[in-house]
Amino acid sequence: MYYQEKTLRRFLICRKEYYSAEMKAFLENVDLYFDNTVNKFIKKAPGEATTVGIIKINNKKFVIKRYNPKGFWHCVKRMLRPSRALRSWKNSHYLEQHGISTPKPVAVLIEGFGPIRDKTYFLMEYVDGLRGGDIFKRDSEHQSSWDKIFQEISLLLKKLHAAKVTHDDFQHNNMLFVNEYPVLLDLDHMRIHKYNSLWFRHNFRKDIDNFLMVLGETNPDAWQMAETMINNQTIGNL
């Protein structure tokens, strides 16, 4: 099911069905893509923790996220922890297994010398959806779908609760919407809890609070609608 390469300098896992000659060539020289300004980037600014771009391979669209190195000491500190790319990879699979929508993970690539990881990459399928930021912006043309969308977000929260997952940056900007169904992004900080502990419940509540806080800053009308619905439907039924 997976193609794997594990050497001191390079660690790669890629879904076999996608590991074509074109994919291989891309993954062998992935920085050529990031250095080429002709390519399409969703997020690319100097000093940012991540760079996110769109790439077409064998006529199919993918999104590649590069976790940019933050200097030597940062690398040393990270030595004992799995890289953010690997965490995203594992977390995506966990969500998939629990029926929670997230972009399909395609490959994870870690380059660097042994435990001192230099750059890490996470490749996923492109999701053709609407951005949360566009759906909830002021004077949004999507206002008529908010009701349905908040119901779906309440359902998503219930699934996350059942799977004992906290996201750590749960907010509409980390979601895409396909026919009003949320697809959860940005899983680098997501945590899978073992127990329904106080710690889990505290962090889960923090996810909800963060969602409402960011939404309130974006659009008070949307906040008003979400607050009652999410608190009643989610918290009330857990």
Ligand X SMILES: Nc1ncnc2c1ncn2[C@@H]1O[C@H](COP(=O)(O)OP(=O)(O)OP(=O)(O)O)[C@@H](O)[C@H]1O
First to last CA, the chain: 36
User: What is the SS3 assignment for 106?
Assistant: strand
| Cα 155-160-161 angle, rounded to 5 deg | 95
Binding-residue total with Mg ion (CB under 5 A):
2
Q: Least Å distance between CB 232 and ligand X?
A: 28
**Binder of residue 210, out of Mg ion, ligand X, none (CB less than 5 to 8 A by kind):** none
Q: Least Å distance between CB 81 and Mg ion?
A: 20
Whichever of 152 and 186 has its CB closer to Mg ion, that residue is 186
Whichever of 107 and 187 has its CB closer to Mg ion, that residue is 187
User: What is the SS3 assignment for 162?
Assistant: helix
Whichever of 173 and 233 has its CB closer to ligand X, that residue is 173
Please state, in angstroms and rounded to a whole number, the distance separating the CA atoms of residues 98 and 100: 6
Secondary element (H or E) of residue 67: strand 60-67
**Binder of residue 131, out of Mg ion, ligand X, none (CB less than 5 to 8 A by kind):** ligand X
Cβ atoms of 166 and 200 within 8 Å: the answer is: yes
Whichever of 151 and 173 has its CB closer to ligand X, that residue is 173
Cβ atoms of 175 and 182 within 8 Å: the answer is: yes
Residue selected from 62, 103, 140, 186 as contacting Mg ion according to rule CB under 5 A: 186
Please state, in angstroms and rounded to a whole number, the distance separating the CA atoms of residues 190 and 92: 10
> Alpha carbon of 39 to those of 23, 31, 50, 68, 214: distances in Å?
16, 12, 16, 18, 31
Q: Least Å distance between CB 168 and Mg ion?
A: 11
Residue whose C-beta lies closest to Mg ion: 186
- Which parts of this chain interact with ligand X (CB under 6 A)? 42-43, 50, 52, 63, 65, 103, 124, 126-127, 131, 173-174, 176, 185-186
Whichever of 10 and 153 has its CB closer to ligand X, that residue is 153
Binding residues among 145-174 for Mg ion as defined by CB under 5 A: 174
Q: Least Å distance between CB 191 and ligand X?
A: 16
Residue with tokens 């053709």: 128
Copy the structure tokens of residue 53: 């771009």
Whichever of 27 and 185 has its CB closer to Mg ion, that residue is 185
**128 backbone φψ class: left, alpha, beta (φ>0; ψ -120 to 50):** beta
Q: Least Å distance between CB 20 and ligand X?
A: 19
Site for Mg ion contains 207 (CB under 5 A): no
**Binder of residue 50, out of ligand X, Mg ion, none (CB less than 5 to 8 A by kind):** ligand X
Which residues lie near Mg ion (CB under 5 A)?
Answer: 174, 186
